[in-house]
Amino acid sequence: MSYFNLSKAEIESEREKLLKQYEDYKNKGLSLNMARGKPSPEQLDLSQPMLDSIKSSDFCISEDGTDCRNYGGFEGISESKELFSRILEADPENVFVGGNSSLNMMFDTISCFMTAPIYDDTVAWHDVKDRKFLCPVPGYDRHFGITGYFGFEMIPIPLNADGPDMDMVEKLVSSDKSIKGIWCVPKYSNPTGITYSDEVVRRFASLKPAAKDFRIMWDNAYAVHDVTDTPDTLLSIVDECKKTGNEDLPILFCSTSKITFSGAGVAALAASPLNMKVLKKRLQFATIGYDKVNMLRHSKFFKNYEGLLEHMQKHKKILAPKFETVMKKLNENLADTEIADWTNPNGGYFVSVNVYKGTAKRVVELCKEAGVVLTGAGATFPEGKDFDGKNIRIAPSFPSVEELSLAMDIFCVCVKLACLEVLV
Amino acid sequence: MSYFNLSKAEIESEREKLLKQYEDYKNKGLSLNMARGKPSPEQLDLSQPMLDSIKSSDFCISEDGTDCRNYGGFEGISESKELFSRILEADPENVFVGGNSSLNMMFDTISCFMTAPIYDDTVAWHDVKDRKFLCPVPGYDRHFGITGYFGFEMIPIPLNADGPDMDMVEKLVSSDKSIKGIWCVPKYSNPTGITYSDEVVRRFASLKPAAKDFRIMWDNAYAVHDVTDTPDTLLSIVDECKKTGNEDLPILFCSTSKITFSGAGVAALAASPLNMKVLKKRLQFATIGYDKVNMLRHSKFFKNYEGLLEHMQKHKKILAPKFETVMKKLNENLADTEIADWTNPNGGYFVSVNVYKGTAKRVVELCKEAGVVLTGAGATFPEGKDFDGKNIRIAPSFPSVEELSLAMDIFCVCVKLACLEVLV
């Protein structure tokens, strides 16, 4: 029954029923955390064999003859560059392999441009006092954290089912020289799980920015992270930009954080020769080279890109039932109330739920009191400002299916309760 | 015989003799590299057992219960913080454990202060147009590379046998607000191998900088890297600064790059709560946490600080004969010529040789033609400017004793030849 057709008395009775359920949950003294997109221990266990892929009896020599234990190998070992070039769909020579975090590489990229002009006739972004960055919303809080830290004004761009509102992006980017970039999670976007359509990717590749040094931060974090048998496909931004002569627009990022170990994976970026020149000018002073033994460990474990894709099937097996559980619970408990809507992604790490306008904060609060920790309401917006107060990110990967099932029951009760508190 | 007492005829005959030797060496078609302070394969082999310290059958759980494979553990696992606090002689709570490179942490620290003011009433260094950094010379080229990249004017400070010329440091630092810091390798300095005296450390701790945001970059890269049985000792800058109330002056760095694997070690920094607050404000956006599995791997391998010191004895066994070889060859071939002088360090990775004024470049060139690659002449000075043209850094760690012995013979011939070319 739609909550919007309820009489005052029905609302009261529904609320009483829910409050009773809520109290029962609260009394269980639960402690479930769905705040972050963390792989479960079971997923991490999938990569335990990797720990044996370099033993004390092994030589740590890469394909190109580098002793991975010693200094050197600035750009990463060749087998790593090759592997990441497949994930990022970029030429290996345009790939730079880093440490354990693509977030760190994104931070360093923005940090680089803060003090180093990209072109001879542009200035360091630190010197652009009204610098701005476009932020598709809902989006990834840690992206917004980076540009927030560096003092950018962040302009929210609605993220639709096929990607960011490109009319708005084109209009802003072509008219405002102080807009220096945009954050994108083009495949299985964090948190809505949508994938940019071919049309959207082509429009990105065709942008005519007013700022010569405008850059697209293309965080392909979930490039190979399907959870259903009908996976999305993403057009290659590198290929499209080649066609439009806009090779310097995008900088691509990815990592094995959600492939092997989130705390001990390998990250990489891909960039055009021009962008790479600016980044390497910095990197050559910032490092002699990142952890090559861990790069080799990964390459030996996967053998090749096909091996990595096979490995992802094992993640899918673990994650699919969790996403199905979230869908089932949302459908069962919320569909007919008409007070919420949500995405049904084919991959990634999140489900995005829009609850009744203005109640997101209350839902998160109610959940917390019942022992279910969610991502903070508003976190998916720059500076936490969700003006509609309705978006909540569900991260189903870490809990077990049983825990998740219970957590979703509680979540749905809280969504309904928070709405009724307003409707009453 | 002193070259300065030779007659013209004696010079000619000596030169002819040396040229013949040089041609003989050249004809051997050698290829020896002493350019960088790289550990030898034999040294790296010492840490091969570390590769087994976490196997697929092991749990990757740190002392404080963190699953090292997953996200989290921002500051590093507690056992790593403890281990590095011993090396750096700082409180564990003031230690932050990073990735595989202390150079990278130093770069990030300067990068942080470039865009983030340390105090409310100071400005980001990027906005200090005439920013300057003090550079004890000869020093570490990669330090100078960082401040050079960030546009600092670098002021060379003579490095004496007991540390930098503190009269000069005190005078400059107390009078010029645009001087923002100084690079220090306080123990077994790169490249001279000297250790700062107690008096010098105390004078550092007592500095009264004109710039409130002046910082000492205290790179204790060779804290536990002795090569003789008469090791140097270094006064704790942290303790001394506590006494003077100058806790915020130094930021300390170290790594296991020359303890385990140069390409896959663990690095750390120590800083006062105030400095740490500024750095962490940045780091919380730059990373979710560095590679904790590698931290755990190291901690399991060493067990504790005493285990690490034991491990260093094995390095000493390999390195001592190499340093002895360098000393023996320099003494045998150059002492009585009086055209060169050198340091005789008790630890570290380098020997610093001053050849005849103005001939360093020529010596490096002659060596290269005979197949011996040395660190570029001038590299130990900011922007490569060795105004006396006499300093050359010898890195004896990588070649075998036999190779090193031959390389030093060639080096000494080149030093003499280059001098005679001028004296003739």
The one-letter code for the residue type at A169 is V
pLDDT class of A197 with cuts at 50, 70, 90: very high
Name, in order, each residue with C-beta under 8 angstroms of A331's C-beta and a sequence gap of 6 or more. Answer: none
Sign of CA dihedral A81, A82, A87, A89: positive
SS3 B92: helix
Phi, psi torsion values for A179, nearest 5 degrees: -85, 115
Nearest to B102 by CA among B218, B235, B193: B218
> Structural domains in chain B?
3-44+309-423 (3.90.1150.10), 58-303 (3.40.640.10)
What's the pLDDT score for residue A172?
A: 98
Q: Suggest the residue from B45, B51, B60 to mutate for an interface test with chain A (most A CBs closer than 10 A).
A: B51
Query: Over chain B, what is the mean pLDDT?
Result: 97
The shortest C-alpha distance from A56 to chain B (Å) reads 5
Return the structure tokens found at A349.
């790490």
pLDDT digits (tens, 9 = 90+) for B230-251: 999 999 999 999 999 999 999 9
Q: Give me the mean pLDDT over the A148-174 stretch.
A: 98
> Number of Cβ pairs closer than 8 Å across A and B?
172
How far is B321 from B327, CA to CA, in rounded Å?
A: 10
CA distance to A107, A146, A253, B285, B390, per residue, from A217 (Å): 10, 12, 8, 16, 48
CB contact under 8 A, B108 and A286: yes
Q: Give the model confidence (pLDDT) of A243-255 as tens digits.
A: 999 999 999 999 9
Nearest-by-CA chain B residue for A151: B115
Contacts of B293 in chain A (CB under 8 A): 51, 261, 263-264
Distance from CA of A266 to the nearest CA of B (A): 9
pLDDT of residue B175: 98
Contact B31, A57 (CB under 8 A): no
Question: Is there a contact between A294 and B291 if contact means CB atoms under 8 Å apart?
Answer: yes
For residue A39, the chain B residues in CB contact (below 8 A) are 70
DSSP 8-class letter at B161: T
Please report residues of B whose CB lies closer than 8 A to that of A67. 41, 44, 263
Mean pLDDT, to the nearest integer, of B405-417?
Answer: 97
Q: How many other C-beta atoms lie within 10 A of the C-beta of residue B145?
A: 18
CA distances from A70 to A42, A344, B261 (A): 33, 47, 6
Name the β-bridge partners of A13: none
Q: Are A223 and A190 in contact (CB under 8 A)?
A: no
At which residue do the structure tokens 């050079």 appear?
B148
Residue A375 · residue A393 · CB < 8 Å: yes
In the 8-state DSSP scheme, what is residue B416? Answer: H
Are residues B67 and A44 in contact, defined by beta-carbon separation less than 8 angstroms?
Answer: yes
Tell me: the pLDDT tens digits for A55-104? Answer: 999 999 999 999 999 999 999 999 999 999 999 999 999 999 999 999 99
**pLDDT-based confidence at residue A159 (cuts at 50, 70, 90):** very high
Mean pLDDT across the stretch A315-335?
98
Q: And the tokens for A214?
A: 């405008």
* In the predicted structure, residue A137 carries a pLDDT above the cut 90: yes
First-to-last alpha carbon distance for chain A, in angstroms, is 16
Q: How far apart are CA B110 and CA B133, in angstroms?
A: 11
Please check the confidence at residue B21 and state whether its pLDDT lies above 90: yes
Residue contact A69–B264, C-beta within 8 A: yes
> What does the angle CA A331 – CA A335 – CA A337 come to, to the nearest 5 degrees?
145
pLDDT of A12: 96
CA distances to B30, B338, B361, B394 from B22, rounded to whole Å, are 12, 20, 17, 19
Closest listed residue to residue A123, CA positions, set A113, A108, A136, A112: A113
Residue type, B391: N
Interface test with B, best of A33, A61, A69, A125 (most B CBs within 10 A): A69
Instruction: Say whether A107 and B286 touch across the interface (CB within 8 A).
Output: yes
User: What is the ipTM for the molecules in this complex?
Assistant: 0.97
3-state secondary structure of B231: coil
Q: Look over chain A and give the mean of its residue pLDDT values, rounded to a whole number.
A: 97
Contacts of B142 in chain A (CB under 8 A): 285, 288
Indicate the pTM of the whole model: 0.97
Which among A44, A282, A289 has CB closest to B149? Answer: A282
pLDDT at A1 over 90: no
- Name the nearest CA neighbour of B106 among B144, B71, B75, B132: B144
**Closest CA–CA distance from residue B68 to any residue of chain A (Å):** 6
Given phi > 0 = left and psi -120 to 50 = alpha, else beta, which region is B120?
alpha
Q: Give CA–CA dist B239/B205, Å, rounded.
A: 9
Helix (H, G, I), strand (E, B) or coil at B135: strand
Over residues B103-158, the pLDDT tens digits come to 999 999 999 999 999 999 999 999 999 999 999 999 999 999 999 999 999 999 99
CA neighbor of A115 nearest in space, from B257, B175, B150 = B150
C-alpha to C-alpha distances, A124 to A250, A267, B317, nearest whole angstrom? 18, 26, 50
Distance from CA of B345 to the nearest CA of A (A): 23
At residue A201, the pLDDT reads 98
Cα separation, A278 vs A115, in Å, equals 11
Instruction: Tell me how crowded residue A176 is: count the other CB atoms within 10 A of its CB.
Output: 17
Tell me the nearest-neighbour CA distance from B372 into chain A, angstroms: 19
B105: closest chain A residue by CA: A286
pLDDT at A424: 84
In SS3 terms, chain A reads as CCHHHCCHHHHHHHHHHHHHHHHHHHHCCCCEEECCCCCCHHHHHCCHHHHHCCCCCCCCECCCCCECCCCCCCCCCHHHHHHHHHHHCCCHHHEEECCCCHHHHHHHHHHHHHHCCCCCCCCCHHHCCCCEEEEEECCCHHHHHHHHHCCCEEEEEEEECCEECHHHHHHHHHHCCCEEEEEECCCCCCCCCCCCCHHHHHHHHCCCCCCCCCEEEEECCCCCCECCCCCCCCCCHHHHHHHHCCCCCEEEEEECCCCCCCCCCCEEEECCHHHHHHHHHHHHHHCCCCCHHHHHHHHHHHCCHHHHHHHHHHHHHHHHHHHHHHHHHHHHHHHHHCCCEECCCCECCCEEEECCCCCHHHHHHHHHHCCEEECCCCCCCHHHCCCCCCEEEECCCCCCHHHHHHHHHHHHHHHHHHHHHHHC
| Per-residue pLDDT at A182 exceeds 90 | yes
| Cα radius of gyration (chain A) | 23
Compare CB distances from B263 to A57, A100, A289 and report the shortest one's residue: A289
CA-CA distance, A375 to A29, in Å (whole number)? 20
Instruction: Report whether the peptide linkage leading into residue A138 is cis, meaning its omega lies within 30 degrees of zero.
Output: yes
The answer to whether residue B424 scores a pLDDT higher than 90 is no
Return d(Cα B212, Cα A135) in angstroms, integer. Answer: 37
In percent, how much of chain A has pLDDT > 90? 98
On the question of pLDDT at A271 being above 90, the answer is: yes
Residues A153, B339: Cα–Cα separation, whole Å: 62
